[in-house]
Every structure is written in C-alpha cells, then in structure tokens.
Amino acid sequence: MQTQGRQRATLPDEFALIARLVADLPHRRRTILGPGDDCAIVARGASSILFTIDSMVEGVHFKLGWGTPEQLGARALAVNLSDVAAMGGVPTACVVNLAIRPGLTRRFFDRLYGGLRRAARAEAVDIVGGNITSARQMAITIALLGDAPARPLRRDRARAGDEIFVTGTLGDAALGWRILAGQKRVRSSARRHLVSRYLAPTARLLAGQRLARLRPAPAAIDLSDGLLQDLGHLLERSGVGAEVDATSIPLSTAYREVAGPDLSLALGGGEDYELLFCIRPGHSQAKLARWLRVPTHRIGAIVGRPGLQLRGAVRPRVGGWDQLRAQG
C-alpha cells in the first residue's frame, strides 16, 4: 500500500530485519518452521500449532474515520486469520494487545471489541487474553494460535511445473484504500465495493483448509503486500521462478470501472488477503472454485529458472516490480 510503501522506504527492510532477529538462534526441535512463512509451526505432542502475530497502527494501516469501530476490530483479527488460512490451519485462540491514546471513548472501545468478538465467534476463535498500554497512536496487535493440518501449506513448497492460482479478485482493497485516503474520487456503487474490500477483508480459511488436503501439499501465501511482492517471497523461499500472465489476473467489475486497464494496484497494491497457491497441473479452474467455495483463477506457472516473468501487461508503476524482474 502506498502509505506503507513510502514509510517503509525510510526504514530498514522488513524481511531483512526479521531474518536478523532469528539469525544464529539454535531452534529447538519443537520449532518445525520458524520465521519466513505466514505462521510459525511449533510441535506440541503429536500435532503442531500455528503461531502468528500481526499489528494495525493508526495513521499507518487505518484512520479512525474510515470505517466503523466494529470493522476495525474485525479487521485486526482478519489479517491474522488470513495467515492461518495461508497455512491451511484452523484458528483457535488469540491474545490482543491494544495501544490506546487519549481522546478515544469507552463507546469506541465497546464497539471495537464488539466487532472483534463477533469476528472471533464467527470462526470459533477464543479471545483468551489481553494487554493494554498507552501510546500516542492507537494500535491493535493480535497473536493468534491455530491447529496445523497434517501437511501445512508452506511458502517453500512450490515446484517447477506447478500452476499458480489466486482466490477472489486483486487490487480492490488497495483501490478502496486510495478512495478512503482521498487519492481517488469515485462516485458510484463501485466505491462501496472497493472500500468494503479494504475495510472488511475475508480470510480464506475454508479454502486454505481444503487445499491442505491435496497431495502433494500446495505451496501457498496470503496476499497482504501485493501479488508481485508476495509471490516473490514464495519464489525466493522455494528457490524457483514464475511466469505470470497479467491478462489472467482476476479483477472485479468495480476495479475495471475505476482503474481501467491499469494493473498497478492488482499487481502491487496489497491488503487483498486472498490466497495464492501453487498446485500440480491438471486442476480445472471451475472445479477448484466450487470446491474452495471462492472464485479461483489460474494466473501462471512455476518455472525452474529464478525470477518472475510478467507477460501481457504494460509496465506497472509499482516499486517492487523491476526488482523482481531483474532476478529473471
């Protein structure tokens, strides 16, 4: 997302920072998968636990006037649920850290909690603990546990020949964000759709859980930073490359109506919280969509040669793209 992108430019690279955080740490046998995927996998008896943390900061990820407090609470959980979805897991319990600032009312928190509780209940997630601190910016940080499937969807499992699919449509949330931020003026029903896709994302839990039943287990990642960047992470972790057909990227009617042929936000906008997964060829797109209960589109294929080749698109005005292409 643009705001984040601008802010990130002045900050050390996130990925490098996380890598350094865990460098030279001798993981015990209980850590099946450490940082670098959507969730960590921690062994616990005969089965394993998924463990993830995510944060939303006022002025960085949201402004209070953009949506309702209920939406804000629900969204804070949804971005975590999406990480569990991307592993094929079942979310179970979360703890919530709330940074609160002066000027926010009790009524605001009641509504925020109401939205969070409703979202948790809808996915049978228990809110088991919380912590509150004061700060200058409001922030919600949620750590979520999940039950891992027998064969979790991992970023490092893509193989040459796999076909790449994404759920839903891409770029809507990023466009919605620009509308909310006043960067785009849209006077139509498209506005409602796009803004809602930003304010109220849906974690693809059922799709992830069903994908985890396939053999071999698909590689997967959730699309939070934008298609090119997230696919880039998956390619890097798997040590492979990809060819993506830009004309196959699923766009909503609203997106087309507002952005026309400009794919920038579909390719690099972020905040979609859709799943990208890589499976052995031969699956019908229509059958997959029915089985996963979400529109699903094939957008390309995994190749052995590292790098990401984007075909059929005008050069998008997205920061991450040249870098990815340069690897090819």
Q: How far is the CB of 21 from a copy of itself (least distance, A)?
A: 5
In the complex with a copy of itself, which residue's Cβ is closer, 94 or 299?
94
Rounded to the nearest 10°, the torsion over CA 182, 75, 86, 269 is 0
In the complex with a copy of itself, which residue's Cβ is closer, 118 or 290?
118
As given in the structure block, the two tokens for residue 2 are 């643009």
In the complex with a copy of itself, which residue's Cβ is closer, 190 or 221?
221
In the complex with a copy of itself, which residue's Cβ is closer, 172 or 225?
225
Contact indicator for 54, 79 with CB cutoff of 8 Å: yes
Q: How far is the CB of 152 from a copy of itself (least distance, A)?
A: 14
Q: What is the rounded CA–CA span in Å between residue 199 and residue 298?
A: 26
- For residue 115, the 8-state DSSP code is H
In the complex with a copy of itself, which residue's Cβ is closer, 47 or 183?
47
Contact indicator for 270, 285 with CB cutoff of 8 Å: no
Q: How far is the CB of 11 from a copy of itself (least distance, A)?
A: 6
As given in the structure block, the two tokens for residue 106 are 């009790």
Helix or strand (DSSP H, E) at 111: helix 106-122
Cβ atoms < 10 Å from Cβ of 119: 22
Q: How far is the CB of 299 from a copy of itself (least distance, A)?
A: 27
In the complex with a copy of itself, which residue's Cβ is closer, 16 or 326?
16
Q: What is the rounded CA–CA span in Å between residue 250 and residue 297?
A: 7
Distances in whole angstroms, Cα of residue 70 to Cα of each of 94, 135, 142, 198: 18, 21, 16, 14
Q: How far is the CB of 220 from a copy of itself (least distance, A)?
A: 17
Q: How far is the CB of 311 from a copy of itself (least distance, A)?
A: 33
